[in-house]
DNA sequence: CAGCATCCGCCACGATACTG
DNA sequence: CAGTATCGTGGCGGATGCTG
C-alpha cells in the first residue's frame, strides 16, 4: 500500500479545521506566547504583567488577554476592592497548552547557536 | 531559598536572546509552519508546494522559503535542467524543529472541541 | 518552471488621552 | 488600578506583470 499522496493531507486546507492554521492563528501573534509564559508561575495582576513583559502596550495586553480568555487559556478574576484588583491566571487548558510550547521554546534555546551560524553562513553567501 | 522573582526571568526581555521572542519571530508568521509541515514527508518543488499549500501566493512562498533557508531549516537545490527544477527539503535542523512543532499541532488538534466550547461560552456571556 | 519587481490596501500595533 | 476610545502608521501580504 502506498502512502497517502501529499496533496491529500488535511493539514494544508484553508479552513478552521486545519490544526496547523489554528495554531498559527492562536499563538502566532506577537504577544500571546509571552503572556502565557508570564502566567506559568502563578496568577498576576494587569499592571504587574505589563511591567514584566517588556515592550507591551496597555492596549495589546488587554486585547491579547481577552483573546486568550476567549480561547479558554486564561481566567480573569475581578476583586471588587478599592481600588479594583484584577488577577489573571492560566486555566487548566492553558497550563496544558504551555507544556508543548515549553518544549518548543527549549528546543529553540538549545539550538540558538546553530541557527545563528546558519544565518551568518547564509548572509555571507549573498 | 525563595524562588527567583518573576521579573528576573530572562524569558521576557526584549532582545534577541529571549527564546520565546525568537520562536515567535521565526515561526509566528502566516506561512512558516505550513511550509515546514509540507516538507516533512520529503522534498518538493516550488510549484508543487504552491499548489499544496492552499492560499499561499508566489511572493510569500518565495519569501518564507528564503527565511527558512536562512535560519537553516530548509535546503534549496537547483537542478540545471531545462526547464530548471528546484527542490526544497528540510535540513536535519528543520526535521528536528518539526518534532516539538508536531507535538504542539497534535495538542491543538486534540483540544479543538474544548477550545470551540470555550469560545462559544465566552461569546454568549458578552 | 521558478522566480523578481512593483504597487497598494489593510490591519496589527503603538501612542495618547480619557474613565469607572 | 485597570482598563476603554481614538487616531496614525509601518509593514505584512495580495495582485499583477515581467524574466532567465
Per residue in A69-118, pLDDT (tens digit) is 999 999 999 999 999 999 999 999 999 999 999 999 999 999 999 999 99
Among candidates A14, A23, A44 on the partner chain, residue whose Cβ is nearest the Cβ of B33: A23
CA distance A21 to A11: 8
Mean pLDDT of all residues in chain B?
90
Contact residues, chain A, for B41 at CB < 8 Å: 3, 6
Q: How much is the pLDDT for A28? A: 93
| pLDDT tens by residue, A38-79 | 999 999 999 999 999 999 999 999 999 999 999 999 999 999
Measured between CB atoms, which of A52, A108, A118 is closest to B19? A108
pLDDT tens for residues B52-74?
999 999 999 999 999 999 999 99
* Per-residue model confidence (pLDDT) at position B4: 52
pLDDT at B72: 97
3-class secondary structure, B7: helix
Instruction: Report chain A's mean pLDDT, rounded to a whole number.
Output: 90
Q: Which residues pair with A90 in a beta bridge?
A: A74
pLDDT of residue B12: 66
Binary contact (B70, A34; C-beta < 8 A):
no
The verdict on a CB contact (< 8 Å) between A19 and B53 is: no
User: Is the pLDDT at B30 greater than 50, yes or no?
Assistant: yes
Q: What is the pLDDT of residue B125?
A: 81
Complete domains list, chain A, with CATH = 19-125 (1.10.10.10)
Which three-class secondary structure state does DSSP give residue B54?
coil
Give residue-wise pLDDT tens across range B95-115: 999 999 999 999 999 999 999
Task: Give residue B2's pLDDT.
Answer: 47
Q: C1' nearest to CA of B78: which nucleotide?
A: C2
Task: Tell me the mean pLDDT in the region B24-51.
Answer: 96
Partner residues linked to B85 by β-bridges: B79
Instruction: Indicate whether B8 pLDDT > 90.
Output: no
All 3 cell numbers of residue A88?
Answer: 489573571
Does pTM surpass 0.85? yes
Reported as a pLDDT band with limits 50, 70 and 90, residue A10 is: very low
Q: Quick one: how far is CA A120 from the chain centroid?
A: 28
Query: In terms of Cα–Cα distance, which of B63, B64, B76 is closest to B34?
Result: B64
B10 pLDDT exceeds 50?
no
**φ, ψ for residue A17, nearest 5 deg:** -90, -10
- Position A29 scores a pLDDT of 94
Amino acid at each position: 500500500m502506498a502512502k497517502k499522496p501529499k496533496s491529500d493531507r488535511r493539514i494544508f486546507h484553508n479552513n478552521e479545521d486545519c490544526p496547523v492554521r489554528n495554531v498559527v492563528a492562536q499563538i502566532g501573534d506577537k504577544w500571546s506566547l509571552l503572556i502565557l509564559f508570564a502566567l506559568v508561575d502563578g496568577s498576576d495582576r494587569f499592571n504587574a504583567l505589563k511591567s514584566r513583559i517588556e515592550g507591551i502596550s496597555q492596549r495589546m495586553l488587554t486585547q491579547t488577554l481577552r483573546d486568550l480568555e476567549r480561547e479558554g487559556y486564561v481566567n480573569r478574576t475581578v476583586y471588587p476592592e478599592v481600588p479594583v484588583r484584577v488577577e489573571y491566571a492560566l486555566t487548566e487548558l492553558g497550563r496544558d497548552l504551555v507544556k508543548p510550547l515549553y518544549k518548543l521554546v527549549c528546543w529553540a534555546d538549545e539550538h540558538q547557536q546553530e541557527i545563528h551560524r546558519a544565518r551568518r553562513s547564509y548572509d555571507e553567501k549573498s
